[in-house]
Amino acid sequence: MKVINQIAAVTALNVRNLPQRLGGSLVAIVGVAAVVLVFAAVLSMAAGFERTMVSAGSEDTAIVMRAGATAELNSGLGNDDVQIVRNAPGVLRDGDEPVVSPELYVVVDIVKKSTGDDANVPLRGVGSGAFDVRSGVEIVAGRMFEEGRNELIVGRAAQQEFAGLDVGGEIRFGQTTWNVVGVFAANGSVSESELWTDVRVLQTMYRRGNSVQSVRVRLESPGALETLGTALAEDPRIEVDVRSERDYYASQAAPLSQFIRIVGYPLTVLMAIGAVFGALNSMYASVSVRGKEIATLRALGFGPLPVLVSTIVESTLLALVGGLAGGALAYVAFNGFRVSTLNGASFSQVVFDFAVTPELLSQGLVAALIIGLVGGFFPALRAARLPVAQALREL
């Protein structure tokens, strides 16, 4: 009990006179804040990108592509294939009509507003079932395109990010002029980075005949994925891969988000090591400034343990302040920050918002605490071992 009282007393004393040593302490705080800021900012790119990609995918929608195709862009299916998929078991039917959308996915160059340079923007030809195979897609401005006409509806994110996509405007790709007639929202998912038109119009423009690249299928239930997959695998007329849409988008997101993590975590570890050096420096300075105070306490009968604990508490507290400041700064500066990047997996632009998630912030704070503990431990040992007589003589 006595030891606990002592610890409390020395720690309180130490914390209360912290402001007197603010100069040196500030260095430790800023160091830790920089680590957490950079960590949260870099990893929020991966988190935001994943959120955009994964929220597009649903468990009860399947995507059918040519066997071996890793992305829609690489796939190709003929009209016969589409008919087989339409009539396959497991496909949800609205009356007699299967809920499917055969889709063609191409890339067009449009100027990115932020850079003024061309970017690969996905242009998707969709079937009449496009809004039924996806949940949460709705027209938020203008109207739906009319079938058979050169009309586009554009994703909300695409409209903000790329030039010349205002409703009522015209945009030219190659020799074809398109009218932008509407804007659609899709819960902030990757679909909002796309432009949509009637698949038949796009087939004609691109001289693709009747071929498409994927068929999206609304399943009777998430469990029907297996029914559909088995039926198509056993059908000798067709060679396709069937995956849930969620699974497909997760695999599309993986290379980029993994890359950010592969860079981001070691970056954080390195910066944290740098911050530990900074914290050690500040804490050694703090211990040497408090030398006389510590020696006096020891002479009065306080044990080494309270001195040790109070020093560790001081450094942890500083690190925590730094961590909170860094995390708050990251949140204010980067959360919701909208960018678009080239997703190598689909060779087209994905518009997404940085997401400084609670998970990232708590990971950042844990890193800050570790820096504080490590940075305080060795100086604390020195403080506890301070030779009392010698330190007092220096008075």
Partner 1 sequence: MKYLGLVWRNAWRKKARTSLTMLSVMVAFLLFALLNAIAFAFRSGQDVADAERLVVIHKISLINPLPISYEARIAATPGVAEVTHASWFGGYYQEPRNQFAQFPVDARAYFEMYPELDIEPGQLESWADNRIGAVVGPEQFGWTIGDRIPILSTIWPQTDGERTWEFELAGIFSTSDQRGSTAYMLFNYDYFEEARAFGKGTVGWYILRVAPGANPVEVAQAIDEQFANSPNETETSTEAAFAASFAKQFGNIALIVQLILGAVFFTLLLVAGNTMSQSVRERIPELAVLKTVGFSDGSVLGIVLSESILIIALGGLLGLGLGWLAVQGAASSMGAMLPGIYLSGPAILTAIAIIIGAGILAGIFPALKAMRLSIVDALARG
Contact 308, 283 (CB under 8 A): no
Q: How far is the CB of 220 from partner 1 (least distance, A)?
A: 30
Contact 368, 326 (CB under 8 A): yes
Q: C-alpha angle 151/153/159, rounded to 5°?
A: 125
* Complex with partner 1: residue 177 or 221, whichever CB lies closer: 177
Under rule CB under 8 A, residue 210 binds partner 1: no
By C-alpha distance, which of 191, 247, 212, 228 is closest to 65?
Answer: 212
Return the range that interacts with partner 1 (CB under 8 A); candidates 26-34, 55-63, 145-153, 188-196: 26-34
Under rule CB under 8 A, residue 332 binds partner 1: no
290-319 positions binding partner 1, by CB under 8 A: none
The DSSP 8-state label assigned to residue 162 in this structure reads: B
Helices 358-385 and 245-289 cross at an angle (nearest 10°) of 20
The DSSP 8-state label assigned to residue 237 in this structure reads: T
Q: How far is the CB of 135 from partner 1 (least distance, A)?
A: 28
* Complex with partner 1: residue 13 or 27, whichever CB lies closer: 27
| Binding pattern for the stretch 132-171 against partner 1, x by CB under 8 A and - elsewhere | ----------------------------------------
Return the range that interacts with partner 1 (CB under 8 A); candidates 18-26, 131-139, 142-150, 190-198: 18-26
If binding means CB under 8 A, how many residues of this protein chain bind partner 1?
A: 56
* Complex with partner 1: residue 201 or 224, whichever CB lies closer: 201
CA distance 330 to 337: 11
The greatest distance separating any two alpha carbons of the chain, rounded to the nearest whole angstrom, comes to 97
The DSSP 8-state label assigned to residue 208 in this structure reads: -
Q: How far is the CB of 68 from partner 1 (least distance, A)?
A: 5
Under rule CB under 8 A, residue 76 binds partner 1: yes
The alpha-helical segments, DSSP class H, found in 89-198 are 130-133, 156-161
Choose, by CB under 8 A, the member of 3, 8, 15, 67 that binds partner 1.
Answer: 67
Tell me the backbone φ, ψ of residue 128, rounded to 5 degrees: -65, -20
* Complex with partner 1: residue 10 or 321, whichever CB lies closer: 321
Is the Cα torsion angle 43, 49, 55, 58 positive or negative in sign?
Answer: negative
Choose, by CB under 8 A, the member of 6, 52, 120, 363 that binds partner 1.
Answer: 120
333-352 positions binding partner 1, by CB under 8 A: 339-342, 347, 349
Under rule CB under 8 A, residue 71 binds partner 1: yes
Q: How far is the CB of 267 from partner 1 (least distance, A)?
A: 7
Return the range that interacts with partner 1 (CB under 8 A); candidates 109-117, 192-200, 219-227, 296-304: 109-117
Tokens of 295: 């020696």
Choose, by CB under 8 A, the member of 80, 226, 239, 359 that binds partner 1.
Answer: 239
Q: How far is the CB of 376 from partner 1 (least distance, A)?
A: 14
Contact 191, 155 (CB under 8 A): yes
Is the Cα torsion angle 366, 367, 372, 375 positive or negative in sign?
Answer: positive
Tell me the backbone φ, ψ of residue 112, rounded to 5 degrees: -80, 130
Tokens of 6: 């002592």
In the three-class reduction of DSSP (H, G, I as helix; E, B as strand; rest coil), residue 16 is classed as helix
Bridging pattern class, strands 100-111 and 118-126: antiparallel
Return the range that interacts with partner 1 (CB under 8 A); candidates 5-13, 72-80, 177-185, 290-298: 72-80
Choose, by CB under 8 A, the member of 8, 68, 169, 366 that binds partner 1.
Answer: 68
Return the range that interacts with partner 1 (CB under 8 A); candidates 20-28, 55-63, 144-152, 186-194: 20-28
Angstrom distances, CA of residue 141 to CA of 138, 151, 161, 181: 9, 14, 17, 8
The DSSP 8-state label assigned to residue 91 in this structure reads: B
| Binding site residues, partner 1, CB under 8 A | 23-24, 26-27, 30-31, 34, 37-38, 41-42, 66-71, 73-74, 76, 106-109, 112, 115, 117-120, 173-175, 206-207, 239, 263, 267, 270-271, 273-275, 277-278, 280-282, 284-285, 339-342, 347, 349
